[in-house]
Amino acid sequence: MPAMPPWADGAPGGSSLALFTDLYELTMVQAYVADGTGDVPATFSLFVRTLPGARNFLLAAGLESVLRYLESLRFDSDAIAYLRTLGCFTQSFLDWLARFRFQGSVVAVPEGTPMFAGEPLLEITGGLAEAQLFETLLINEMHTQTMLASKAARVVLAAQGRRVVDFSARRVHGVDASVKGARAFAIAGISATSNLLAGKTHDLPVVGTMAHAYVQSFENEADAFRAFVRQYPETTLLVDTYDTLQGVRRVVDLARELGAQFKVQAIRLDSGDLATLSKQAREMLDAAGLHHVRIFASGGLDEHALAELLSRGAPIDAFGVGTRMGVSEDAPTLDVVYKLTEFAGRGRMKLSPGKNLLPGRKQIWRRETGGIYSGDVIGRADESLSGTPLLRLVMKDGRRLVPAPPLQQIASYAAAELAKLPPPVRGRATAAYPVTVSDSLTAHAESVQAALRS
Amino acid sequence: MPAMPPWADGAPGGSSLALFTDLYELTMVQAYVADGTGDVPATFSLFVRTLPGARNFLLAAGLESVLRYLESLRFDSDAIAYLRTLGCFTQSFLDWLARFRFQGSVVAVPEGTPMFAGEPLLEITGGLAEAQLFETLLINEMHTQTMLASKAARVVLAAQGRRVVDFSARRVHGVDASVKGARAFAIAGISATSNLLAGKTHDLPVVGTMAHAYVQSFENEADAFRAFVRQYPETTLLVDTYDTLQGVRRVVDLARELGAQFKVQAIRLDSGDLATLSKQAREMLDAAGLHHVRIFASGGLDEHALAELLSRGAPIDAFGVGTRMGVSEDAPTLDVVYKLTEFAGRGRMKLSPGKNLLPGRKQIWRRETGGIYSGDVIGRADESLSGTPLLRLVMKDGRRLVPAPPLQQIASYAAAELAKLPPPVRGRATAAYPVTVSDSLTAHAESVQAALRS
């Protein structure tokens, strides 16, 4: 049994990630395999049943990690040894798991696609056993990344073209969500991250200068600014450790003191009434001829705070957004499910109250009028309707068909797609986007329901 | 440069976790080291500034991973190579980082201690550089685990002694939070988890049986139950795929069919009006002589739902709680900060509006009257006040002083401590617990403030 590094708790490397699954996935799969239904063709659909009140759209993210995991996950000897200790798996099933390779197909919408309730983000078709096995991980990946990208898209839209950077690492739920979240934020248009591991992992621009502790470690703020600028002439100075406007005055003093050597690019406000303080700071900087020194704001920001600051005319050039984006505070969960919709060539549904879903393999057609999307139709995969089909075959026989697009390309695609949403849907107030179900899919759903009820 | 395994994005193993930090931590530390202040003694305090409205107390968790990381984190050649590409670090600082080992001290409250706003969960004392370096990771660990333990404690209290299991893996934010969260839940009294990786990592009991997809893969529910029971005679049968009471009838039919071979232990209700359905199901089971078949309920539960179900007399024996606990839905973030409170032997504070903190090294004394805690006093570390001191020295010169207690011991401690909180504080309605600041610490804070303002 390979030794786990001491920091591996909860931050798995290696194939232990195959064990990131609910026990019932494996007990079900063992039953399928034992009963001979493990290889019968099945389709599962991953979608969000209803949108939270604070979301008019979702921004799809997570597909890249899903495809990578489907290609690479293995139950290694360490995982098998653990499963054996549980006493509920036969040797024959453990052997099956040890040989397991995902051989199925995946259709999915590209990352960066705006999505709505009921629309499949991805569908997996394969043997019932292999399509069931990674449900927990698939939901977790798509949920975390889509939720965070969707929140960030709202923040980016509220910033009206101003730069927004990700300051959320300290309060995102865990390392995994933070590193994957930084990528999801980049898809949504966030410019950079403070998180070095995310920067390294996803090749993102990284940003950051100083915290209050730095200023506090000096006898006075002026000395702290002087020392930091000596080390980093083009830095951003944090001015609110003691008193924001006093801090701005010290920056102005430093500019006088240094003359041509003064290269500070920005000040950062991190507390107080940011609209008023940014106006006063701008006046003070301009009065000192420091027109080129930009104002950066942070501290408890989200899309609503950004919109309010900009509506009040705050002369803020860029925003650092942290916790509220990093935990998607107003909607920290999406109602994402992964449901069996077809088995042995026949549509499947549940009839539990309030949990109906659409049977079979599907396609989504997105329609456009005058450069703006006018609505989507969810239909059967083998229909041909007007509009642009969103679901594409991305993996076949367990192999991905196209390489991962560069992140910047995904972000550009997302920006272009978001720009084509109806303006109210892009806005912060609740607005619905028309999604309908095709006649053929409706008829199919009715026939499956009738068969179930009979 | 070692190859990263393909699933390593966001789930780091190896020393890459040292890079889980905000860039500014490293720019500040480089400045400290360059200016010769890196070794000057400093104390940072980690605490929650204010409690969310929906929390009367916190349950401390996360210390074990913090201590493990402090002992083990290294900037390996891969990390150093990445940092070099950023262009803002000198070779001399990169060499310093490559040699870096944490040599400081940690005082902390034991995991499983109920905590309140303003009380330090841990304090780190060391050279300014080493005490600053891991701020981001320390906050992330303590935030995620304390937030999740605190939510779970409410759920466990609401279950009034009934078993609660963790079903949250699919919607927790990422793998790291899920695996560490399962441990935090266990500290709070959650009995088991569905998450195999968490079970393996932390040696937790794992549970799980079947999902709707299993039932749907059969032509009818009765066949599904028959097949599953053949494989797992002592299973829990999920009865709500099509119609809950119809599902219960099928369980009763199966019991008649199997006679003495019927060993099903429970049914699971996952949708609908769980109070009414559980009563009807109990009556049907009892009428069939199946008194020993227990009722397990799941589906969108949290402490409020549990309290309501039990107040309506729902005969539910155990609960599966998922998303709402796993993302701490009503309080998905805590206002955790890590602040410099002493430097070069002198107390430090910020004066930013609304962000005041207490200077210096501290102790918390918890007082008890008639077996119930009556209030806490936060004082200076070198005071001696009445009550039980909560902060203990757990790491010195970079080495932990006592081994990690067994998880079950931490959970027992937490249960005993929670039982000693005043009943209103344990309840779901907002209730305050008295926390005061000692005269000596108040005087110290005033003198530090006066010095800053002068």
List the one residue out of B40, B18, B14, B45 whose CA is nearest residue B139. Answer: B45
| A333 with B352: Cβ contact below 8 A | no
Q: Residue A134 in 3-state DSSP?
A: coil
Q: Which chain B residue is nearest to residue A28, measuring alpha carbons?
A: B210
Q: Which chain B residue is nearest to residue A343, measuring alpha carbons?
A: B217
Burial of B163 (0-12, 13-18, 19+ CB in 10 A): middle
Mean pLDDT, residues A222-237:
97
Position B338 pLDDT exceeds 50: yes
**Radius of gyration, CA atoms only, chain B:** 26
| A175 with B17: Cβ contact below 8 A | yes
Indicate which of A21, A64, A200, A296 best probes the interface with B, i.e. most B CBs within 10 Å of its own CB: A200
Give the pLDDT band (50/70/90) at residue B8: very low
Going by their DSSP bridges, the two strands B435-437 and A399-400 should be labelled as unpaired
pLDDT score at A15 = 52
- How far apart CA A340 and CA A342 sit, in angstroms, is 6
In degrees, rounded to 5, the angle at the alpha carbon of residue A60 between the alpha carbons of residues A55 and A65 is 135
Window from A318-327, B164-173, B349-358 with minimum mean pLDDT: B349-358
Return the structure tokens found at A193: 């991250």
| B272 with A69: Cβ contact below 8 A | no
Q: Which chain B residue is nearest to residue A219, measuring alpha carbons?
A: B452
Give the pLDDT band (50/70/90) at residue A186: very high
Q: Where are the domains of chain A?
A: 14-145+338-357+378-447, 150-326
CA distances from B249 to A453, B147, B267, B294, B298 (A): 16, 41, 11, 15, 19
Q: Which chain B residue is nearest to residue A239, measuring alpha carbons?
A: B352
Give the pLDDT band (50/70/90) at residue B350: confident
Q: Give the distance from residue B370's alpha carbon to the nearest chain A alpha carbon, in angstroms.
A: 38
| B169 with A243: Cβ contact below 8 A | no
Higher pLDDT, B113 or B351: B113
Residues of A in contact with B53 (CB under 8 A): none
Task: Please give the mean pLDDT across all residues of chain B.
Answer: 94
Mean pLDDT, residues B238-261:
97
A351-388: per-residue pLDDT in tens? 655 556 899 999 999 999 999 999 999 999 999 999 99
Contact A276, A316 (CB under 8 A): no
Q: Return contacts of A395-398, CB within 8 angstroms, 24+ apart.
A: A395/A67, A395/A70, A395/A71, A395/A104, A395/A105, A395/A106, A396/A105, A397/A103, A397/A104, A397/A105, A398/A70, A398/A71, A398/A101, A398/A102, A398/A103, A398/A104
- How far apart CA A151 and CA A153 sit, in angstroms, is 5
Residues of B in contact with A343 (CB under 8 A): 216-217
SS (H, E, C) chain B: CCCCCCCCCCCCCHHHHHHCCEHHHHHHHHHHHHHCCCCCEEEEEEEECCCCCCCCCEECCCHHHHHHHHHHCCCCHHHHHHHHHCCCCCHHHHHHHHHCCCCCEEEECCCCCEECCCCEEEEEEEEHHHHHHCHHHHHHHHHHHHHHHHHHHHHHHHCCCCEEEECCCCCCCHHHHHHHHHHHHHHHCCCEECEHHHHHHHCCCECCCCCHHHHHCCCCHHHHHHHHHHHCCCCEEECCCCCHHHHHHHHHHHHHHHHHHCCCCEEEECCCCHHHHHHHHHHHHHHCCCCCCEEEEECCCCHHHHHHHHHCCCCCCEEEECHHHHCCCCCCCCCEEEEEEEECCEECCCCCCCCCCCCCCEEEEEEEECCEEEEEEEEECCCCCCCEECCEEEEECCEECCCCCCHHHHHHHHHHHHHCCCHHHHCCCCCCCCEEECHHHHHHHHHHHHHHHC
Give the pLDDT band (50/70/90) at residue B3: very low
H or E stretch covering A411: helix A407-419
Q: Give the distance from residue A26's alpha carbon to the nearest chain B alpha carbon, in angstroms.
A: 9
Q: Give the distance from residue B369's alpha carbon to the nearest chain A alpha carbon, in angstroms.
A: 36
- How far apart CA B231 and CA B226 sit, in angstroms, is 9
Indicate which of B170, B194, B226, B334 best probes the interface with A, i.e. most A CBs within 10 Å of its own CB: B170
Find the CB nearest A68 among B7, B86, B210: B7
Give the pLDDT band (50/70/90) at residue A16: confident
Residues of B in contact with A20 (CB under 8 A): 169, 175, 178-179, 195-197
Residues of B in contact with A209 (CB under 8 A): 24, 27
Contact A15, A76 (CB under 8 A): yes
Find the CB nearest A216 among B137, B143, B348: B348
Residues of B in contact with A135 (CB under 8 A): 170, 211, 213
CA distances from B302 to A143, B155, B187, B379, B428 (A): 20, 6, 17, 36, 11
Position A10 pLDDT exceeds 70: no
Find the CB nearest A27 among B14, B24, B209: B209
Position B1 pLDDT exceeds 90: no
Find the CB nearest B13 among A8, A69, A194: A8
Give the pLDDT band (50/70/90) at residue B365: very high
pLDDT score at A450 = 87
Region of A361 (left: φ > 0; alpha: ψ -120 to 50; beta: rest) is: beta
| B271 with A348: Cβ contact below 8 A | no
Give the pLDDT band (50/70/90) at residue A37: very high
Task: State the DSSP code for A328.
Answer: T
List the one residue out of A233, A238, A276, A240 whose CA is nearest residue A255. Answer: A233
Non-local CB neighbours of A148 within 8 Å, separated by 6+ positions: A61, A177, A180, A181, A184, A185, A325, A326, A328
Mean pLDDT, residues B117-122:
98
Q: Give the distance from residue A305's alpha carbon to the nearest chain B alpha carbon, in angstroms.
A: 18
Q: Which chain B residue is nearest to residue A73, measuring alpha carbons?
A: B7
Task: Please give the mean pLDDT across all residues of chain A.
Answer: 94
| B240 with A34: Cβ contact below 8 A | no
Mean pLDDT, residues B87-115:
98
List the one residue out of A356, A361, A391 whose CA is nearest residue A376. Answer: A391
Give the pLDDT band (50/70/90) at residue A9: very low
pLDDT score at B356 = 61
Return the structure tokens found at A191: 């410019």
Q: Which chain A residue is nearest to residue B181, measuring alpha carbons?
A: A10
Find the CB nearest A348 among B82, B178, B216: B216
Residues of A in contact with B28 (CB under 8 A): 210-211, 213-214
| Placement of tokens 């989507």 in the chain | A376
Find the CB nearest B132 among A213, A241, A327: A213
Give the pLDDT band (50/70/90) at residue A453: confident
Give the pLDDT band (50/70/90) at residue B4: very low
Using a pLDDT cut of 70, give the percent of chain B over it.
95
Mean pLDDT, residues B277-283:
98
* A54: Cα within 13 Å, side-chain hemisphere: 18
pLDDT score at A3 = 33
The amino acid present at A202, given as its one-letter code, is H
Position B2 pLDDT exceeds 70: no
Q: Where are the alpha helices (DSSP H) in A264-406?
A: 274-287, 303-311, 323-326
Q: Which chain B residue is nearest to residue A335, measuring alpha carbons?
A: B171
Mean pLDDT, residues B142-163:
98
B32-46: per-residue pLDDT in tens? 999 999 999 999 999
* A321: Cα within 13 Å, side-chain hemisphere: 35
Q: Give the distance from residue A432's alpha carbon to the nearest chain B alpha carbon, in angstroms.
A: 24
Region of A94 (left: φ > 0; alpha: ψ -120 to 50; beta: rest) is: alpha
The interface pTM score, or ipTM, of the predicted complex is 0.95
pLDDT score at B351 = 66
Position A398 pLDDT exceeds 60: yes
Contact A86, B200 (CB under 8 A): no
Q: Rounded to 5 degrees, what are φ and ψ at B258? A: -90, -20
Mean pLDDT, residues A301-329:
98
Give the pLDDT band (50/70/90) at residue B450: confident
Residues of A in contact with B208 (CB under 8 A): 22-25, 27
SS3 breakdown of chain A: % helix, strand, coil, rounded to 5? 40, 20, 40
Mean pLDDT, residues B209-236:
95
Q: Which CATH superfamily is domain A14-145+338-357+378-447 in?
A: nicotinate phosphoribosyltransferase (3.20.140.10)
Contact A391, A107 (CB under 8 A): yes
Find the CB nearest A170 among B7, B136, B352: B136
In degrees, rounded to 5, the angle at the alpha carbon of residue B270 between the alpha carbons of residues B268 and B275 is 85
Find the CB nearest B180 among A10, A69, A82: A10
Non-local CB neighbours of A175 within 8 Å, separated by 6+ positions: A10, A11, A197, B10, B11, B12, B17, B20, B137, B140, B174, B176
Find the CB nearest B173 among A174, A200, A207: A174
Q: What class has domain B150-326?
A: alpha beta
| A196 with B19: Cβ contact below 8 A | yes
Find the CB nearest A271 among B23, B183, B353: B353
List the one residue out of B196, B231, B190, B185 whose CA is nearest residue B210. Answer: B231
Indicate which of B19, B63, B133, B197 best probes the interface with A, i.e. most A CBs within 10 Å of its own CB: B197
| A22 with B178: Cβ contact below 8 A | no
Using a pLDDT cut of 70, give the percent of chain A over it.
95
Higher pLDDT, B350 or B274: B274
pLDDT score at A280 = 98
Position A235 pLDDT exceeds 80: yes
Q: Give the distance from residue B290's alpha carbon to the nearest chain A alpha carbon, in angstroms.
A: 24
Residues of B in contact with A173 (CB under 8 A): 144, 147, 172-174, 176-177, 181, 327, 332
Position A246 pLDDT exceeds 60: yes
Burial of A115 (0-12, 13-18, 19+ CB in 10 A): buried
Q: Rounded to 5 degrees, what are φ and ψ at B318? A: -155, 155
- How far apart CA A80 and CA A313 sit, in angstroms, is 61
Q: List the CATH code of the domain at B14-147+332-453.
A: 3.20.140.10
| A214 with B34: Cβ contact below 8 A | no
CB pairs under 8 A between A and B: 397
Going by their DSSP bridges, the two strands B318-321 and B163-166 should be labelled as parallel
pLDDT score at B251 = 98
- How far apart CA A162 and CA B224 sit, in angstroms, is 56
Going by their DSSP bridges, the two strands A372-380 and A435-437 should be labelled as parallel
